[in-house]
Structure 1
């Protein structure tokens, strides 16, 4: 039997608490995005193989999120519906973050590079276990009229976490004084300690959401969502594996039209993001700091025995600056998130979504404008450093990238959530993650080959390819049909 009951509008700070743990999750995710290519290169991965290691992220998302989404739809225990998965994922992610920079200590078990890749898979699997229920938790707890606000707050918190996660290794080097240069087969101390701190922040912030958010009981949830309470309870009963799989795959043909159309937009935007995360470090190390591609070749590195001090210093400085750039786009995304709801109401979600992706595409393509340059002193408040002028100029493209990132984190989910059935919100949000994972898998499989065979390992060129993909995503927004309730 179903009853309709008005879901209460939440106070601002309760909406904030629902998503607060995402700050820590993204803190860890930003550390990974800005530093894993650097860590894996230090541990022995060659340049065009980096994207293959990064495949761990989308593959784990592809496997984990639909399973977790379906499981969380059927779960109601003393801790709640989504919170058990959020907490469990946070514990596993923190463990991976503690172990990854210590890969050389496990050399008796396997090569450090392979151990690092395994920990990357663990972290990504755990991040996905945590992220998917967070998305669904907003849809569960926040009424329809507050959805854009809810996902905008989530985007804001994500980007606050990303700013500090991205910049942390730089701060540990330039404020605390930890060494940012690595020896062959080892990880720089500043990166190691950044991962330790990130693991702590991730766990504490997730614990805040788990403690401060009280999920609705099944009967109450059914009443707010207009569902049959008896059917909802029946859905929680254990089912044979084959029946679960049959039911899961039966959902694909029933996928809402809006979801299919958003999948095309997601393909282009996440194809571009994956390239940025994997190849920004080698791109600016080569293009701005002038380090030749051979210094990313493990065979060449072993042939010379020891990395010259000026090369190690340049690679370390470039790696730190990538953290600053990633913090920059996250900061711009956080600022844009504040006005995103208002802009979407005034101009429409689709218009703002398309504009944002176009801004990101232009940002990527403008990387070409900033090459090398004279040494320039930069006062960052907490410290003063000297970088090539091109490195400083790269902060301008980050404005466009940040605008795109804020929209990617909020707009698809705000548009999609009103087209999904409330009793299958978790599993459909998990299936929607296919539209995030699949383009990254395609990018991971082909980007390394493109870089090596087409661009002769000049990584700046593949950033241009990312710009073209993001512009294609902006165009494809035009063909998305919004549900009436989300306009």
Structure 2
């Protein structure tokens, strides 16, 4: 229920945020066009408002939110252990031993070498510069692992970097399974956030001229569409718990991801209009209006992505390491973001002929893969859930 409430508040805030450029133009008369290479004033003011709101929200959280003390968390852990009698194997922690530092050193050397070789390949074959994000990131990952292993081997097993790397490499089984789901889910989301405007303006509105009125009209409509899916997510968030009680959290999340994936793919097929004059109505449903339909499926997926994986994960983690593992879990939001930002541009230009709609469809396929991956997730809080090997 807590994570569903989180989906509600995120969705509600995003409704306003997504519609801000449209509101700036239609309510306050701020221009949504600008010369090539210049950000339109309506977008600038939207970012100013968003930045101020973000800062105020962080300040409010810092000064007004209560955080449980380590003693309180230990009390929760003791109570939980008494209730479950160690029945959840995934809650057992793997001790950090100094002798295992060499494995991290070897792992670090391997990934650093692979990252450097890949970086050299991008340079000598003159591939797109954004691929450096992936190759250099791979090398940095190796360096971090190497440093953690070196510190661990010296006996400093309680050092922060050692603990984070160790817990990352020894994640609970349920967390590993959910990491795969998160990876493909968020890859799809970032594909949507990056390419929806380009896909809709070119595929639906028929223009790629970013300085044209038609393009910016399409971009503003995308903002409204994003407000619609966020609004629907805020509403349907309250139905996630009842749906999970009737079926299971796994089933609800898988169905939501399938709905989201098919909706992203379905945008490709929305470039037609429906004339209702044949049924006595002097009205035409245009292609942009039809895009509201896939936004409902995307909103369902968005609400579930913000709630279900975290609800399932929370039951598999030791209470005293809840914060650390939740932080590590966010790696599987950041990593697909990096890959989407660096690889999708390359794929769009070189494989899809510059057609952003195909990158959007690729995101839809990734979301369906995430749905299929839910089959392998063990929801340890679900007593009827069979434990997969």
What is the aligned partner in structure 2 of residue 130 from structure 1? none
Secondary structure class of the residue paired with 2:27 = helix
Contact residue 290 and residue 372 of structure 1 kept, 8 A: no
What is the aligned partner in structure 1 of residue 44 from structure 2? 192
Contact residue 261 and residue 479 of structure 1 kept, 8 A: yes
What is the aligned partner in structure 2 of residue 318 from structure 1? 218
Q: After the TM superposition, which residues 123-272 of structure 1 pair with which residues of structure 2 at under 5 Å, given as runs? A: 149-226=1-78, 243-272=159-188
Q: Encode CA deviations 1:216-267: one digit per residue, 9 max, x unaligned.
A: 333233223329xxxxxxxxxxx97993222222213421000111111112
CA distance in 2, matches of 1:194, 1:240: 48
Q: Does 1:433 align with 2:285?
A: no
| Structural RMSD (CA) | 2.6
Q: Encode CA deviations 1:43-74: one digit per residue, 9 max, x unaligned.
A: xxxxxxxxxxxxxxxxxxxxxxxxxxxxxxxx
CA distance in 2, matches of 1:437, 1:207: 24
Match for residue 346 of structure 2 among 439, 449, 464: 449
Q: After the TM superposition, which residues 70-89 of structure 1 pair with which residues of structure 2 at under 5 Å, given as runs? A: none
Pair 244,207 (structure 1): closer, same or farther in 2 beyond 3 Å: closer
What is the aligned partner in structure 2 of residue 278 from structure 1? 194
- TM-score computed with the length of structure 2 as normaliser: 0.72
CA distance in 1, matches of 2:164, 2:254: 32
Secondary structure class of the residue paired with 2:161 = helix
Match for residue 206 of structure 2 among 277, 280, 290: 290
- TM-score computed with the length of structure 1 as normaliser: 0.58
Pair 215,442 (structure 1): closer, same or farther in 2 beyond 3 Å: closer
Match for residue 320 of structure 2 among 388, 408, 423: 423
What is the aligned partner in structure 1 of residue 305 from structure 2? 408
Contact residue 73 and residue 320 of structure 2 kept, 8 A: no
Pair 241,197 (structure 1): closer, same or farther in 2 beyond 3 Å: farther
Structure 1 residue 388: deviation in Å? 8.5
Which piece of structure 1 moves more, 444-453 or 195-204?
Answer: 195-204
Secondary structure class of the residue paired with 2:39 = coil
Unaligned runs of 5+ in 1: 1-148, 228-238, 297-306, 377-386
* Pair member with larger Rg: 2
Pair 181,367 (structure 1): closer, same or farther in 2 beyond 3 Å: same
Contact residue 289 and residue 372 of structure 1 kept, 8 A: no
What is the aligned partner in structure 2 of residue 135 from structure 1? none
Contact residue 274 and residue 443 of structure 1 kept, 8 A: yes
Q: How many pairs are equivalent?
A: 303
Contact residue 279 and residue 459 of structure 1 kept, 8 A: yes
What is the aligned partner in structure 2 of residue 476 from structure 1? 373
Secondary structure class of the residue paired with 1:484 = coil
CA distance in 1, matches of 2:70, 2:159: 23
CA distance in 1, matches of 2:382, 2:368: 28
Q: After the TM superposition, which residues 375-386 of structure 1 pair with which residues of structure 2 at under 5 Å, given as runs? A: none
Pair 255,172 (structure 1): closer, same or farther in 2 beyond 3 Å: same
Q: Encode CA deviations 1:413-441: one digit per residue, 9 max, x unaligned.
A: 00001111122112211111122122222
CA distance in 1, matches of 2:36, 2:156: 50
Pair 375,192 (structure 1): closer, same or farther in 2 beyond 3 Å: farther
Structure 1 residue 466: deviation in Å? 1.2
Contact residue 188 and residue 366 of structure 2 kept, 8 A: yes
Unaligned runs of 5+ in 2: 80-154, 277-283
CA distance in 2, matches of 1:388, 1:259: 45
Structure 1 residue 181: deviation in Å? 0.7
Structure 1 residue 211: deviation in Å? 4.3
Pair 350,423 (structure 1): closer, same or farther in 2 beyond 3 Å: same
Structure 1 residue 339: deviation in Å? 0.9
What is the aligned partner in structure 1 of residue 231 from structure 2? 331
Pair 190,216 (structure 1): closer, same or farther in 2 beyond 3 Å: same
Q: After the TM superposition, which residues 357-368 of structure 1 pair with which residues of structure 2 at under 5 Å, given as runs? A: 357-368=257-268
CA distance in 2, matches of 1:313, 1:276: 23
CA distance in 1, matches of 2:55, 2:338: 28
Contact residue 25 and residue 31 of structure 2 kept, 8 A: yes
Q: Does 1:344 align with 2:241?
A: no
